[in-house]
Amino acid sequence: MGLKRKLDEYRKKKADGTFKSEEEEQRELKRGLEEEQKQLQEKKKKYVYIKEMTWVDILLRLGLYAVLQYLFYNFGFGVPFFMVSLLVGMYLSTSVRWKRRKAGELSAYSVFNPSFEKLPGEMDGEKMARQYAGGGLVMG
């Protein structure tokens, strides 16, 4: 019974002109695979990748910092160099270029998002005030 149904479907497709040979189906599958690969490559481009630091990198950077700190200390600028290096370190650790995040993806901290955009579902004072004033219902 299953074979008869397949034969009927084959005849119907052939009569309608929607029948495709195996070569045509393979070409379509190949095209679909190529399109998926292109989309995957585009998605990979959207990520910001950073090079993982090795122990050698860390030791070289710490050594350079120690030498610079020593030089600035000898010239009488040890404390200002230390303070500026702390500020630079804080900026670099919170900047987007050091994170693995999709382009356009929001940060968990709204102060780092463009125009201080909040994440969906984030609680704030205004939302809590509306909730209490509305009798427990969240409006808006």
| pLDDT tens by residue, 96-130 | 555 566 667 777 777 767 777 777 777 777 777 87
Instruction: Say if residue 71's pLDDT is above 60.
Output: yes
The mean per-residue pLDDT over the stretch 41-46 comes to 69
pLDDT of residue 67: 97
CA distance 101 to 99: 6
d(CA 116, CA 124): 13
pTM of the model: 0.40
Q: What tens digit of pLDDT does each residue of 22-41 get?
A: 777 777 778 878 888 888 77
What is the spatial distance between Cα 114 and Cα 90, in angstroms, rounded to a whole number? 19
Structure tokens at 63: 């050594």
Q: Within a 10 A sphere around the Cβ of 86, how many other Cβ atoms?
A: 10
